[in-house]
Amino acid sequence: MALTRDFRETTMERLAKKPSFRRAMLSEALNAMLDGEIDVGKSMLRDYVNGTIGFTKLAAEMNRSPKSLMRMLGPDGNPQAKNLFELVSVLQKHEGVRLELHTVKTAA
């Protein structure tokens, strides 16, 4: 059987090398949360932070401790909206993007 690379390792490498992948992952993490998949979104944000800015730098920019941010995005974390939106704001600035919410009409 052929050896395969660890999914997390592959993700971290792509985050480090591909700006389009970083932007897509950040967007998908937030879309997951908007769709009610909070744990999926937090997990994706945690991976995004680990593969880009890192929790130490993120915490410094937010005037928080790295541990509190790790807990916030952890499996048992329950971030307040204020903290989550502040985190997203910092990540957008770091990435050089501004994410927008668009409404899509669904069938009734």
The answer to whether position 31 is within a domain reads: yes
The answer to whether position 71 is within a domain reads: yes
CA distances from 28 to 24, 40, 57, 67, 107 (A): 6, 10, 22, 24, 23
Task: State the total domains in the chain.
Answer: 1
> In this predicted model, what pLDDT tens digit does every residue of 21-62 receive, in sequence order?
999 999 999 999 999 999 999 999 999 999 999 999 999 999
Contact of 75 with 39, CB cutoff 8 Å: yes
Amino acid at 99: L
The answer to whether position 107 is within a domain reads: no
> In this predicted model, what pLDDT tens digit does every residue of 59-70 receive, in sequence order?
999 999 999 999
Query: pTM of the predicted model, to two decimals?
Result: 0.87
Radius of gyration of the chain from its Cα atoms, rounded to whole angstroms: 15
Q: Determine the distance from the C-alpha atom of residue 44 to the mean position of all C-alpha atoms in its chain, rounded to a whole number.
A: 5
Q: What is the extent of the structural domain holding 27?
A: 19-95
